[in-house]
Amino acid sequence: MDKIMKSEGVDKEYIAHHVMEPGPLADRNLTGTWKDYVSVTKVGIILGNLLTVIAGMWLAAEGVQGFSQLSLTHILFTLLGTALVIASGTCLNNYIDRDIDQKMLRTKKRALAEGRLDPKHVLLMGYILAVCGTVLLLFVNWVATIMALIGLFFYVVIYTMWLKRTHHLNTIVGGVAGAMPPVIGWTAVTGSLDPGAWILFAMMFVWQPPHFLALAMRRYEDYKAAGIPMLPVVKGFRVTKQQIVLWVATLIPTSLYLYLVTNVGWGYVWVALMLGLAWLVLALSGLYVKNDILWARLNFVYSLVYLTLLCIGIILTA
């Protein structure tokens, strides 16, 4: 173990850190505004996930003709219900992580970390949003509702409350939550878990590790200070970059398989192939670069570009 830690540049003090021990909460200064309440819902994350919901719905409806036959109420209930469930998860995440958020530069200015909001209010807000989102999705169908609740459970309980503070596999297992939005979109249209839904799930599941591992590299010092056992902290940058290469390489054939089980055209195949190969080249370059943080930043940004363009490719070619 010592040899591994030495070769990967891992600080031994990290091992002695008790990750489950909460730090002191900030002194309450309840000056929060409506903007602070909006901030704990993480609107940017919601919008990014809704893009994959729309892609899933569009693909399940087999393009513009089928999608146009869906009622406006059905579409709105699907999107709003999903958005509220995701917002519930982010509120509960903010509530649970308010102690460790104080220790990280990226998060120490959050409303709960600084004590601008009452934690009990944010907790209640999370519960209310979960109930409202569930009710709206029940008007869509029960399969989409269950998919949303499974995602919420994995994000709040499995990832945030358990694995985030205890094991470096947190990002991988927590990926189940992030893979649910396109499945919600698909099942909202079909009411069933067809092969297309499973491939969409697989694509999003495989996309997340290289995305979040790059973020973990960028925020290495933050996670180390907070005692969060992210892979770069526990195993070092070299192992993390190797993992990113493996996940990106796996994503390429996974994304191409969508062509075999849905009605996406050859245009999608070329888009997915070119985007995937470009990402793989970038990932492989990380094994030789000297500026790891710059490479991690480029990898993180490209992962967002990849997902956006891939969803657009699905919508334009289905």
Q: What is the pLDDT of residues 2-54, one digit of tens each?
A: 443 444 444 444 434 434 344 444 445 677 788 999 999 999 999 999 999 99
Q: What is the pLDDT of residues 250-282, one digit of tens each?
A: 999 999 999 999 999 999 999 999 999 999 999
Three-state DSSP class for 193? Answer: coil
Q: Where are the domains of the chain?
A: 2-317
User: Which pLDDT value is given to residue 28?
Assistant: 57
Give the relative orientation of helices 119-138 and 142-153 as an angle to the nearest 10 degrees. Answer: 150
User: Which pLDDT value is given to residue 31?
Assistant: 75
Contact 60, 189 (CB under 8 A): yes
User: Which pLDDT value is given to residue 29?
Assistant: 63
Choose among 196, 210, 200, 169: nearest CA to 304: 210
* Structure-token match 């089928």, residue found: 66
Q: What is the pLDDT of residues 237-256, one digit of tens each?
A: 999 999 999 999 999 999 99
User: Which pLDDT value is given to residue 246?
Assistant: 98
Three-state DSSP class for 115? Answer: coil
Task: State the chain's maximal CA–CA distance in angstroms.
Answer: 62
pLDDT at 196 exceeding the cut of 50: yes
Q: What is the pTM of this model?
A: 0.89
Q: What is the pLDDT of residues 117-176, one digit of tens each?
A: 999 999 999 999 999 999 999 999 999 999 999 999 999 999 999 999 999 999 999 999
User: Which pLDDT value is given to residue 32?
Assistant: 76
Contact 233, 14 (CB under 8 A): yes
Q: What is the pLDDT of residues 289-316, one digit of tens each?
A: 999 999 999 999 999 999 999 999 999 9
pLDDT band at residue 318 using 50, 70 and 90 as cut-offs: confident
User: Which pLDDT value is given to residue 4?
Assistant: 39
Q: Is 9 exposed, middle or buried (0-12, 13-18, 19+ CB in 10 A)?
A: exposed
Contact 295, 279 (CB under 8 A): no
CATH top-level class of 2-317: mainly alpha
* Structure-token match 């406006």, residue found: 72
Q: What is the pLDDT of residues 47-92, one digit of tens each?
A: 999 999 999 999 999 999 999 999 999 999 999 999 999 999 999 9
